[in-house]
Structures are given as C-alpha cells and as structure tokens.
Amino acid sequence: MSKRTLIVGNWKMNPATLEEARTIIRKVRYVATELSHTDVVMCPPFVFISAWSTRTDSPHAYLGVQSASPYVEEGPHTGEVGVHMLRDMEVQYVIAGHSEERARGTTDVEVSHRVAAIVHEGLTAIVCVGEHIRDEGGAYLDMLKEQIKNSLVDVPAKSSKNVVIAYEPIWAIGAQQAMNPEQIYEMVLFVKKVFADLFGQDVAMKMKVLYGGSVNAENAVDIIKIGKADGLLVGRESVHVEGFTELLKAVDTISEK
C-alpha cells in the first residue's frame, strides 16, 4: 500500500477570531473528505482548538498544535500546555522545534524533551530542522545531522514510528520561492540516512520527511513529485483557504506516490 502524502498547515498566530478559525477548519475539512492520497493536519493556536468539533466525521483531516510542554505530568508549570491535555482534546500531531521557536532560544535539548513527551503520549511529533545558510564546503550538512540527532536523543526506538521530520531551510522561509526540487530530493535522502543511523533502515523507510519554506499551490506538486518529499509543512498559505485547498487538490492528483 502506498504511503499517503501528509500536508501540515501551521497557522502560526492566525487568524484574528474564533469565527475565522471555524471557517478555515470547516472548508478544509470539506475538501479533505474528497482526498484520495493525502492527509491534512491543521495546527491552529491553542485558543482555537475548540473550533475543531469531533461531532462531524472528517476522513483524512486531523488536528495538530504548534507546540507543547516538555512536562509529562501536571504540576506548577504556569503557561504550559501538557501533551496529555492535548490528547484529551483529540489532538494527534504536535510541531516541535519550529525555526521560529529555535530563533527565540529553544535548544536541541529542549526540543528533544518536548518530542519525548509527545511520543510518550502516543501522539505524532513533527520535528522541524534546517540550516540557516548553505555553505560551499557542505558544513551545513554536519550541522543538520547534529541537529537531528540532538533533537531526537530522548526518543526511544520503539517510539520512533511517531516521528515526522519537517526539513525547513531557514533561508527559504518567507522567500519569494521555495528550494529547488532537485536539492529538496537530496535533502530528503540525507535526512532519511541520518534517521536510519539512529533507528534503523526499516523505520527510516517508513518515516515521512516534509518540506517547509515558501510552499504554495504553484510549487507544491514539483516538491512532492520531483523533490520526493513525503509531504509539506505550509505556513502563511495554510490560513488562506482558497490557496491552501487548491494546494491540497493539486498534490492529491499526483498518481505516483
């Protein structure tokens, strides 16, 4: 059975109102019911989780969030949201180590603790990694390898199946165009090689590598088809319903999975 493409929408600090959040979720879930090869995850801010109603069946659409606490038990952790709480709210995916978090000072060690908490509760961690610059000598590959290893150091082998890697080169985020698809393919292979070194070839063959960085409906197909990414991490475009649903439909037409 072919592996389904995974499209993750990271809403960031958008939209402005709960009603807007409900509208986005309703429209994306409607389109998701018609997808044949694609799963979609929507990651709204915590305050808009309530916009996701489980009363309506929505195949191929899942609820995610943008971060979570590394603490696995209740306690005096003001401002934190525990993964066990998120699981009770029907959340299935959690982003960890997004480049914006790392830019604010989050370390690989902190990301690893967070990922460990996510997989401990049986949720899927979307672990973001990526280099700031691409030097001619290839030092960025060593940096990326260490970032992946350090961000997963607390993940037991038995839980590695609950990890998705989102490769997001920092220099491509917010740029006018995404990374070249041929380069993306090289990086997908590299990430899977590092993952195989950590958890074994069999697990690495089944895990998903997403690409993030200036993704839109125009370039999404090439990123999947030529870049061989297993899915996409979509930022600003994910709250623009027309563009995001167009992206989903375009990706779902790719027959070769």
3-state secondary structure labels for all residues of 179-240: CCHHHHHHHHHHHHHHHHHHHCHHHHHHCCEEEECCCCCCCHHHHHHCCCCCEEEECHHHHC
Closest CA to 192 of 208, 172, 168: 208
Q: DSSP per residue over 102-125, as a string?
A: HHTT--HHHHHHHHHHHHHTTPEE
Beta bridge partners of 40: 7, 61
How far is residue 185 from each of residues 6, 22, 42, 181, measured CA to CA in Å? 16, 35, 25, 6
Q: How far apart, in whole angstroms, are the C-alpha atoms of residue 249 and residue 156?
A: 36
Q: Which of 28, 10, 22, 21 is nearest to 252 (CA)?
A: 28
Q: Cα 106 to chain center, whole Å?
A: 17
Told to judge if 168 belongs to the known catalytic residues of this protein, a careful annotator would answer: yes
Q: Which of 98, 113, 121, 131 is catalytic?
A: 98
Is residue 113 part of the annotated active site? The answer reads no
What 8-state DSSP symbol labels residue 177?
S
- Among 100, 121, 168, 237, the one annotated catalytic: 168
The CA distance from 46 to 31, in Å, is 23
Q: Distance between CA atoms of 235 and 73, rounded to whole angstroms?
A: 30
**How far apart (Å, rounded) are the C-alpha atoms in residues 141 and 134?**
9
Residues tagged active-site? 98, 168
